[in-house]
């Protein structure tokens, strides 16, 4: 929608979210801020606890200390203040304090569903990521590498996780920052034991198992996994840091403290399967992640599970420059119970209301309710009373359009007709959950299994289903492709995120006995999906790389992982997926650990097309002999994130990918070997030396106003132009100028001169975020000369932020829109849906807490939006719309 189309509302503003200039991180008006709770930063080694205590005593302010950290890397204290408090007046005055920020809520990680719809290509999980090759050919197991898991805690009594805690055990160190009954707004209840046997998901235990679990030598049948199970780096050591209680959210001061403590404890890799919505990388946890990575403790974080919200939604702390942001790719197979039809096994789901239990190996004789339901795509099979004679039999019903009737209705009709079991079949190979009937056993089977049963009936053969409660490895059709839930980039500053991906779709790993009981599982293992699972997978691979290479810099670890990852196509096509979605591709452990060619930087962000320039990278040859490198361009899919006639980023339903007009690339010819500027290049690098290569990208022929995100990969082969190709580095910009501002016509105004606004009735404001601005404010400016009434309210000057109530989500806030997340046309896990606001003539003072009623009189409303890459202190970097003078009355 172009801006004029939304101006039927009284006031319109556009915003994305940004950090406030006067402090680090998001302002107190941002979503998820914990009221009057702050992180106060000092220089490393400073006794912040004593300084804060003395300072608050001197200004007569009561507070509760939440957490304090003082190491050679960082020093900070987080506090909750009681009573009236003006942060802008008091916090800057704390002696020796470097900065302060508001404490934010970080919600508990959510697990994701997996969908798939193509014939399978079965493989084992570690075979498509090079992990098996790294183990078998390089002897790598992660031995000697310490991986910190910052999460819900770990059930370390699990035999696959070593069965104990402390020196000599797999889980050798850790700390509980919060306790079992903590709420994120309260003071924590820490202790030295990070055990979790109370959360229903057992998220941290699952994560730890992916990194370093090992169930291969468990002989007790009651404890052994159904399938041979081992984590990526089974000999790595786990350090467990608990930042979530049994239920509920965490806060970023606790997560920041855990990052610093993990580094201080000597963790080599710090794995964080958590995060908030899209944000700038200047929150406390982002700064901590960057700090410890630079010190040799590498931070690897989940990109997020907001794929449904469309592009530009990677989360923090994964957006930090000195950390890795991890996308998710689907696994090759997942454990599932199965039915057998004509000797072929296929997965099924049992209804949650299903009555009774089917015996192991029970044979069900099947009657088909409608033999033509599948071929005719009948949407309402079984919704009405059944037509077939199903007495004493299991009835097969096509589970079509669920809006016309759910599983409970259809299986209820089966029971009413005398069926002894209800078998619903899906319209494809996807199996979701069903309720079924509380009166008879109810199953959901795949479409292919149903086709086999229908074919038998048509051929006059017996149609039978053999049901098993045992598990088999069910192949996942989308194996090795990007998970639909994985959050795409770019980040808010068009930086390269995510960095690469790991296996995160349907990963089998360890859980606690409590979680198994809560889920109704017979073993302490489960399959979960999310970038939460992909992150420990890459953390495990990183442990293998560090075992092979020893102490290396973060830039080398990133280069090894990105230089060697496997590129994947857009699902269902042969077009290479865009770097802003898959990063460098799916991780390859063997190649990352063994490569002797390094390309740095391994990712190059080109900003937008207005800011395009020639860039370069360096090829380092670690072989004993000179090597020839043949370089060429592999353009990737272009992301069409904005529809024609629309200023705002779309969600996944309308975002499209095209490969017909890719970007082109030209290498420079100034390397001393006589190569002309062209889209391929031969580079000879002496043994142990490096050579720098320059190139420039020409955008695809697309409309600049659509802000397409394009990019690609520079591929190389060593010593032969046709053998051993690997991708080397990726580049991408956004097409068009993302710093030209939102408004096409800045003389536009939704108000006519001398309009009357009735504050009692309220006026509506529509605030819609766009991709061309990163900060927006709406202020009311008094037009009279007598400011005495303003001064009585505590307002300095003649302008003040509007106080607006959210009419869809509830609550009220100042009209200061920070970059924590952009909204979208549909809500996702960490991205909220669009809303609209109501202004009742109230305003918010600069403390962002005190709300006052503006006096009646003449006003203007000023909308300001900071352009991408703009300076908040430069007026020229803002787009501004000012309304005509209007009268505010009550």
Catalytic residues: 151, 203, 532
How many CA atoms does the CB half-sphere of 702 hold within 13 Å?
A: 31
Could you tell me which residues come within 8 angstroms of residue 176 by beta carbon, excluding any fewer than 6 positions away?
A: 153, 190, 191, 192, 193, 194, 195, 242
Burial of 90: CB neighbours in 10 Å, binned 0-12, 13-18, 19+: middle
Q: Which helix (H) or strand (E) holds 24?
A: none
Give the span between the Cα atoms of 501 and 234, in whole angstroms.
Answer: 20
- Cα-based distances in Å from 143 to 185, 263, 267, 540, 543: 39, 19, 13, 11, 8
Q: Which residue is listed with tokens 């606890």? A: 49
Order of strands, sheet of 146-151, starting from the edge strand that comes earlier in the sequence: 171-176, 237-242, 146-151, 269-272, 298-302, 324-330, 500-505
Tell me the two tokens of residue 749: 């105004």
| Residues, the chain | 890
Give the span between the Cα atoms of 749 and 863, in whole angstroms.
Answer: 10
Indicate the DSSP class of residue 208. H
3-class DSSP assignment, residue 632 = strand
Could you tell me which residues come within 8 angstroms of residue 664 by beta carbon, excluding any fewer than 6 positions away?
A: 633, 635, 679, 697, 698
Pairing status of strand 690-698 against strand 615-621: antiparallel
Burial of 345: CB neighbours in 10 Å, binned 0-12, 13-18, 19+: middle
Q: Which of 622, 581, 421 is nearest to 490 (CA)?
A: 581
Alpha helix segments (H runs only) across 694-817 = 788-792
Quick check: 195 and 156 in contact, CB under 8 A? yes
Give the span between the Cα atoms of 176 and 245, in whole angstroms.
Answer: 9
Could you tell me which residues come within 8 angstroms of residue 660 by beta carbon, excluding any fewer than 6 positions away?
A: none
Give the span between the Cα atoms of 653 and 640, in whole angstroms.
Answer: 12
Quick check: 292 and 270 in contact, CB under 8 A? yes
Could you tell me which residues come within 8 angstroms of residue 397 by beta carbon, excluding any fewer than 6 positions away?
A: 369, 370, 373, 381, 382, 386, 410, 411, 414, 422, 423, 424, 425
CA 307-313-319 angle, to 5 degrees, is: 125
3-class DSSP assignment, residue 603 = strand
Rounded to 10 degrees, the C-alpha dihedral 469/472/475/480 comes to 120
């Amino acid at each position: 929608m172009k801006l004029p189309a939304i101006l039927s509302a009284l006031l319109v503003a556009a915003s994305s979210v940004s950090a406030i200039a006067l402090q680090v991180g998001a302002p107190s008006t941002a979503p998820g801020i914990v009221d009057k709770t702050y992180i106060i930063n000092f220089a490393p080694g400073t006794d912040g606890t004593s300084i804060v205590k003395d300072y608050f005593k001197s200004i007569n302010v009561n507070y509760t200390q939440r957490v304090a950290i003082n190491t050679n890397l960082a020093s900070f204290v987080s506090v909750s203040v009681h009573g009236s408090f003006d942060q802008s007046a008091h916090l800057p005055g704390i002696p020796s304090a470097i900065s302060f920020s508001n404490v934010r809520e970080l919600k508990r990680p959510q697990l994701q569903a997996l969908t798939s719809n193509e014939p399978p290509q079965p493989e084992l999980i570690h075979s498509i990521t090079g992990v098996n090759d790294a183990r078998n050919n390089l002897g790598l197991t992660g031995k000697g590498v310490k991986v910190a898991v910052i999460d819900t805690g770990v059930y370390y009594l699990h035999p696959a996780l070593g069965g104990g805690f402390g020196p000599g055990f797999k889980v050798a160190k850790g700390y509980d920052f919060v306790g079992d009954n903590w709420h994120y707004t309260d003071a924590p209840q820490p202790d030295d034991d990070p055990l979790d046997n109370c959360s229903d998901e057992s998220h941290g235990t699952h994560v730890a198992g992916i990194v370093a679990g090992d169930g291969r030598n468990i002989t007790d049948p009651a404890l052994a996994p159904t399938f041979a199970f081992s984590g990526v780096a089974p000999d790595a050591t786990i350090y467990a840091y608990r930042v979530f209680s049994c239920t509920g959210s965490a806060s970023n001061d606790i997560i920041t403290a855990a990052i610093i403590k993990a580094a201080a404890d000597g963790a080599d890799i710090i794995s964080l399967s958590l995060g908030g919505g899209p944000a700038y990388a200047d929150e406390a946890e982002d700064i901590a992640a960057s700090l410890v990575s630079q010190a040799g403790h590498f931070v690897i974080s989940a990109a997020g599970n907001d794929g449904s919200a469309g592009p530009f939604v990677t989360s923090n702390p994964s957006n930090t420059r000195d950390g890795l942001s991890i996308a998710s790719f689907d696994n090759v197979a997942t454990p599932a119970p199965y039915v057998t039809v004509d000797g072929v096994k296929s997965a099924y789901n049992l209804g949650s209301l299903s009555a009774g239990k089917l015996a192991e190996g029970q044979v069900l004789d099947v009657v088909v309710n409608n033999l033509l339901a599948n071929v005719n795509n009948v949407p309402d099979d079984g919704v009405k009373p059944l037509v077939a004679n199903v007495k004493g039999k299991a009835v097969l019903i096509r589970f079509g359009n669920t809006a016309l009737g759910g599983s409970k209705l259809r299986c209820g009709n089966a029971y009413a007709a005398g069926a002894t079991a209800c078998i619903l079949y899906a319209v494809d190979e996807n199996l979701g959950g069903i309720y079924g009937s509380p009166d008879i056993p109810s199953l959901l089977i795949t479409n292919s299994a149903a086709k086999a049963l229908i074919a038998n009936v048509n051929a006059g053969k017996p149609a039978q289903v053999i049901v098993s409660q045992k598990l088999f490895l069910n192949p996942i059709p989308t194996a090795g492709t990007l998970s639909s839930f994985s959050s795409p980039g770019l980040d808010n500053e068009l930086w390269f995120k995510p960095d690469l991906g790991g296996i995160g779709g349907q990963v089998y790993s360890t859980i606690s006995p409590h979680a198994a009981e809560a889920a109704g599982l017979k073993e302490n293992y489960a399959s979960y999906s999310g970038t939460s699972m992909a992150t420990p997978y890459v953390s495990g691979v990183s442990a293998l790389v560090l075992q092979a290479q020893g102490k290396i810099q973060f830039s080398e670890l990133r280069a090894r992982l990105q230089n060697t990852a496997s590129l994947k196509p857009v699902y269902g096509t042969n077009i290479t997926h865009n770097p802003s979605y898959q990063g460098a591709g799916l991780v390859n452990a063997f190649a990352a650990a063994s490569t002797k060619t390094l390309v740095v930087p391994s990712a190059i962000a080109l900003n937008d097309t207005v800011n395009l320039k020639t860039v370069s990278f360096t090829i380092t040859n670690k072989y004993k002999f000179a090597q020839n490198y043949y370089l060429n361009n592999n353009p990737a899919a272009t992301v069409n994130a904005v529809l024609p006639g629309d200023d705002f980023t779309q969600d996944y339903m309308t975002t499209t990918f095209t490969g017909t007009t890719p970007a082109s690339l030209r290498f420079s010819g100034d390397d001393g070997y006589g190569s002309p500027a062209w889209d391929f290049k031969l580079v000879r690098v002496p043994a142990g030396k490096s050579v720098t290569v320059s190139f420039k990208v020409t955008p695809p022929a697309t409309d600049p106003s659509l802000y397409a995100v394009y990019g690609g990969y520079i591929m190389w082969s060593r010593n032969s132009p046709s053998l051993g190709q690997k991708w080397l580095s990726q580049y991408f910009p956004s097409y068009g100028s993302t710093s030209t501002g939102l408004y096409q016509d800045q003389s536009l105004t939704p108000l006519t001169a001398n309009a009357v606004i009735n504050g009692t009735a309220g006026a509506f404001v529509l605030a819609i975020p766009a991709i061309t601005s990163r900060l927006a404010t709406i202020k009311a400016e008094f037009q009279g000369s007598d400011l005495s009434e303003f001064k009585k309210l505590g307002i300095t000057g003649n302008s003040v932020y509007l106080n607006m109530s959210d009419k869809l989500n509830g609550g009220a806030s100042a009209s200061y829109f920070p970059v924590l997340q952009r909204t979208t046309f549909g809500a996702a896990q960490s991205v909220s849906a669009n809303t609209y606001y109501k202004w009742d003539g109230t305003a918010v003072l600069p403390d962002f807490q005190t709300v006052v009623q503006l006096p009646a009189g003449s006003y203007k409303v000023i909308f300001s939006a900071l352009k991408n890459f703009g300076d908040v202190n430069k007026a020229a970097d803002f787009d501004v719309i000012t309304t005509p003078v209007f009268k505010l009355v009550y």
